[in-house]
Amino acid sequence: MKTAETWTWEAAEATKIYRWEYAPLIGRKIVDVRAMFPEEMDLFDWSGELGVVLTLDDGTMFIPMRDPEGNAPGTMMVQKGGK
């Protein structure tokens, strides 16, 4: 069984990786949200449920995937800050 100390260490290590991997998102603004076009779905070899594309103010496109291998479109949870 993992201890709170182990979880804290693992979360800290994962945060380092996420901050490096997702650095292009930091400080950016989402300017568009849309469904993927069929041609884009084909590029990922996806079928079925359409993926989502978030376009940032610098033209970067953020595409949620089911897993790191990109086996299918993914989802995101949006939670407002504050109360």
The predicted pLDDT at position 83 comes to 64
The predicted model scores a pTM of 0.76
Q: Tokens at residue 16, please? A: 């380092």
Query: What's the confidence (pLDDT) of residue 78?
Result: 86
Residues of the chain with pLDDT under 70: 83
Q: Which residues contact 35 (CB under 8 A, 6 or more apart)?
A: 50, 51, 52, 53
CB atoms within 10 A of CB 36: 19
